[in-house]
Amino acid sequence: MKAVRRGLIVANWKMHKTAQEAADLARAVSALVADSCTFRDVVLCPPFTSLHSVKEVLSDSPIALGAQNLHWESEGAFTGEVSAAMILTSGCRYVILGHSERRQFFGETDEVVRRKLAAALKAGLEPIVCVGETLQQREAGNTNSVVLGQLESALDGIPSDDISRVSLAYEPVWAIGTGRTATAEQAEEVHAVLRKWLRYERDEEVAEATRIQYGGSVKPDNAAELFAQENVDGGLIGGASLDADSFAAIVNAGIDP
Ligand code: PGA
């Protein structure tokens, strides 16, 4: 990971863990990785129902809290939804937006992701915007146009000053939860394309400052090589973040003692 950008390692617990189980896992993770927060930012994103219990556990810890989704309206008749202010006041600093599972199973379009991003920034959160191509899109040679289309749409109308609070996650859909990781070269290639877009469509400062995480079957044995790539600034970790030891090994991957 590059000196110019602080590493960012995010645990996406998805729909796993009750409040008590989440608190137990957060406690175990905290004991193992608190010291690493000197070198990297570490974030835990439990389900909404566990934000409170995990916040309590992390109260004296440098590990930050994040949510996995939000609604773009500030309040109203939206049964089952949660606003940016509700997340922020529950102790979250970060929020994951546009995850491929949201796009795939809950019909989230680029326009929805753009609205959510604007709402998150307005509330003062630090959003993590996910982009990624399906296997079919990759095999058709459309990877770059797909991820850049998602990025362009998400950032449409967002002032460059606000982008300093946004990080990106490149998550190839074919690598999520499949055990099939993108090679370090494949990840680096797409990360470099994303950064180049930021450079030309925004400016050098935005391009250099924006953190781009890789996500998709990151494990303790492939994390160091991925994180060593020039444009890879950390990871968004699903399955391997549900085990404290494996998540800690990923957080510490490539850090010289
Ligand atoms: P995975 O999930 O690490 O289980 O592949 C990553 C993600 O979906 O964020």
- Parts of the chain with a pLDDT under 70: 1-3, 256-257
Cβ contacts of 6 within 8 Å, gap of 6 or more? 40, 41, 211, 233
Whole-number pLDDT of residue 1: 52
CA 91 – ligand 1 centroid, Å = 23
Whole-number pLDDT of residue 35: 87
Describe the crossing of helices 220-227 and 244-251 by its angle, rounded to 10 degrees: 20
C-beta separation of 66 from 37 below 8 A: no
Q: Which atom of ligand 1 sits closest to the CA of residue 178?
A: 5
Establish how many alpha carbons lie within 13 A of residue 164's alpha carbon, considering only the half-sphere containing its beta carbon: 5
The verdict on the CB of residue 68 being under 6 Å from ligand 1 is no
What six digits make up the tokens of 237? 């970790």
Whole-number pLDDT of residue 193: 98
The verdict on the CB of residue 218 being under 6 Å from ligand 1 is yes
Q: Which atom of ligand 1 sits closest to the CA of residue 239?
A: 4
Partners of 41 in beta bridges: 8
Whole-number pLDDT of residue 122: 97
Whose tokens are 């989230």? That residue is: 108
* Statement: the pTM of the whole predicted model exceeds 0.85: yes
What six digits make up the tokens of 34? 């608190």
Q: How far apart are CA 131 and CA 115, in angstroms?
A: 15
The verdict on the CB of residue 169 being under 6 Å from ligand 1 is no
Whole-number pLDDT of residue 70: 98
For residue range 58-94, what is the model confidence (pLDDT) as tens digits? 999 999 999 999 999 999 999 999 999 999 999 999 9
Which amino acids are annotated catalytic?
99, 171
What six digits make up the tokens of 166? 């946004």
Whole-number pLDDT of residue 180: 85
